[in-house]
Structure 1
């Protein structure tokens, strides 16, 4: 189904495929520039600011079945790419992903979160959910030219640098493997391990502003006092979010203690790859990421 453009080329034609097969045929048939849209909150901002041109065609994903559902599929939590951000905060199943819920709460205003989708936040490449999803070892399901394909979020982010991303691919769902999560009642397991998890965002002002730095930390301390699992990620602003494997290994080599907070901060500052602009220098962002993670770890271990 197509909603014709109105005016004299002022707006794109909006196509509304009913399923993935129609979507696949549609994108192969369309001539001229096109883009995908769900909530379109970021797209509207980009168009109004003149950062990207308005396309000739816009393909709405709103009618694709199953893309706005949250459910269990075997050993994984599946979040449809068109799930509204506000639902991510309230959905019962996603209470098992507190870092993700905390990240979503920091995005824009409630009225925007009623429209914006988690898929849009991800495919922007700079969304504030990315560090949290990296800490959960998230995987992304895409509709590609060859069919449905699953890639880790980490590899997709790196694809922005090595050219392996295909802009015609469509994000269908986000999948969190339960065997990559700390032990939880979802797996009907019991454990005496202590879980530590936190998410931090620093913006230019307290609310409704783009982030300067965002960080996420998730780990487990076993009964012997040593780290059992550690996942650390950082991002923010227009920078690409990334896992910090050297910082993770720093903790895994030693017994968990308050003394690790300072060394973690230094290692993060050195490892985190970011950028500078008129709002903050590269060094400021690197040091802030280290301070946020070091302070967060100290607070968590002190309790």
Structure 2
């Protein structure tokens, strides 16, 4: 496998397949860092937030990890797919919140290099809230072989130590609505099922800055005016994004109305776990997330 580097610069390795990658991980024994687009890593190194590693393992030459395709009622996106490719792909367009989240990440020049997998593995990427409401599953190459985990469980693993930094994200899997189920809905005179999709990011300035808060909401309102499905998530900054099941339960099976907006905002304040830093207090983040989601609900009802 190719390798290059000199002096104080890291040695860069470019495995050509997953077998070479596995051998390389075993040989370097943790003295390395994975990279693909490297946009976040460069920012961290230049800011002195993390030390430059002895070895870099570049994943960009691995086959099949930059593809987008539909398979068995799911959309599969290779972890090394560039953000700009996801932004314009017709298959990814089935998941508009993901494309909206990508459009507000950094600048076009960054999105031309950065990868979807890198945005996720950072643990704080702006796509994570959108992927959470789509029930994303992640495929990892681990010491035990290939494993599928939900995005939500992987995020929680960062809190309790179950996340292994040597695992390699290979692909992201998003469930596609069963066409047969959709046909049944239509047969039962359900042509007016209303789909709700909402994503917002609030940053410290208009573009190219870390988010303070990101929120996403995705669901369906039936012909009887009640919520049939609802998924809500919030995150932002260096905090962990999370689904908000109490907020979801608050709406599920209830008649959808503008009056739910204030109640939803209050519940978000209670359930959303976030933090304070030099830019915003915990209360501000909670209140902002609640207001953004309430605004999304209000828009959906008007």
- Please give the range of the TM-score, normalised by the shorter of the 2 chains: over 0.9
Alpha carbons 1:32, 1:57 under 8 Å: kept: no
Q: Which residue of 1 aligns with 2:130?
A: 132
Q: Which residue of 2 aligns with 1:91?
A: 89
Query: Deviation string for 1:7-35 (max 9, x for gaps)?
Result: x2x21111111111111111011146101
Q: Distance in 2 between matches of 1:234 and 1:32?
A: 33
RMSD: 1.5
Q: Give the aligned partner of residue 298 of structure 2.
A: 298
- Partners in 2 of 1:186 and 1:206 — Cα distance? 41
**Pick aligned residue for 1:64 from 62, 65, 72:** 62
Partner of 1:26: 24
Q: TM-score, normalised by structure 1?
A: 0.95
Q: What secondary structure sits across from 2:261 in the alignment?
A: helix
Change (3 A) 1:184 1:237: farther
**Distance of 2:26 and 2:117 partners within structure 1:** 22
Question: 1:231 maps to what in 2?
Answer: 231
Structure 1's consecutive aligned runs of 4 or more residues displaced over 2 angstroms after TM superposition are: 183-192
Distance (Å, rounded) in 2 between the aligned partners of 1:197 and 1:93 = 17
Deviates more, 1:127-136 or 1:201-210: 201-210
Structure 1 contact 178–187 (Cα < 8 Å) conserved: no
Partner of 2:217: 217
Query: CA contact under 8 A between 2:80 and 2:115: conserved in structure 1?
Result: yes
- The reply on whether 1:263 has 2:263 as its aligned counterpart is yes
Normalised by the size of structure 2, how large is the TM-score? 0.95
How much has 1:202 moved relative to structure 2?
A: 0.4
Instruction: Work out the CA distance in 1 between the residues paired with 2:104 and 2:231.
Output: 21
Q: 1:173 aligns to what?
A: 171
Q: Distance between the aligned counterparts of 1:105 and 1:215, measured in 2? A: 15
Q: How many angstroms does 1:300 deviate by? A: 1.2
Q: After the TM superposition, which of the residue ranges 239-248 and 188-197 deviates more from structure 2? A: 188-197
Alpha-carbon distance in structure 2 between the residues aligned to 1:65 and 1:247: 41
Number of the residue aligned with 1:155: 153
Q: In structure 2, what is the Cα distance between the partners aligned to 1:228 and 1:297?
A: 15
| Contact 1:32-1:56 within 8 A present in 2 as well | no
1-structure distance, mates of 2:19, 2:2: 16
- Give 1:186 deviation, angstroms: 11
CA deviation string 1:167-216 (max 9, x = no partner): 0000000000124xxx7799767452110111000001111111000000
Q: Whole-Å Cα distance in 2 between the matches of residues 184 and 233 of structure 1? A: 26
Aligned to 1:287: 287
Give distance in 2, aligned partners of 1:265 and 1:82: 36
Instruction: Point out where structure 1 has 5 or more consecutive residues left out of the alignment.
Output: none
- Mean CA deviation greater in 125-134 or 219-228: 219-228
Q: Which string of whole-angstrom CA distances, capped at 9 and with x for unpartnered residues, describes residues 138-178 of structure 1?
A: 00000000000000000000001111100000000000012
- Structure 2 CA distance for aligned equivalents of residues 127 and 257 of structure 1: 31
Unaligned runs of 5+ in 2: none
> What is the SS of the residue equivalent to 2:301?
helix
Counterpart contact for 2:228–2:253, Cα < 8 Å: no
Residue 123 (str. 1) matches residue 121 (str. 2):
yes
Matches within 5 A, 1:178-193: 178-179=176-177, 190=186, 191-192=190-191, 193=193
